[in-house]
Amino acid sequence: FLPPDAAFKLELKAIDSNHLQAQFIVAPGHYLYRERIKFETALPAKLETTTLPAGEMKDDPTFGKQEVYHHDTAATIKLTDIENNLVSINATYQGCSEKGLCYAPIKKTFALNMADTSSASTS
C-alpha cells in the first residue's frame, strides 16, 4: 500500500485574487470520496464556495453508495474578505485503495499569497 501522501497528492494555487484551484492527484488503484473533501479558511478570509466536478458512483464496502474520484480532479474555491493577499487554507480529504485499505482522513494546511499564481506551500 502507498503512503497517504503518495496515494493522494494535493496542490493549491491562486487563479486570481479571489479564487484558488485545488488539484488532487489520485494514484492508480485509489479513489477519493467526493463528500469527504472539505476546505476551511482562517479568519478574516471567508470561503464563499467550493466547486467540485461530478464523480463516479461506487458501492463502497465501507460506506455504501458514494460519489468518488478514481482519477485526478480539481476543485475551485472562491474566497472573500482576504487581507494583504494572504490566506491560510485547511484541507481535509479521505480515500481508499481498491485493494481494500481505507486511509484515515488527511489534513493539510496551505499558506498562500493570492498575488502569486505560481505555487503554494503546505505545513
What is the pTM assigned to this prediction? 0.91
Helix (H) or strand (E) holding 13: strand 8-16
CA neighbor of 117 nearest in space, from 18, 24, 26, 48: 18
Alpha-carbon span 14 to 29, nearest angstrom: 29
Per-residue pLDDT tens over the stretch 25-64: 999 999 999 999 999 998 789 999 999 999 999 998 878 9
Angle at 60 between CA 58 and CA 63, to 5 degrees: 125
Cell 502569486, residue located: 116
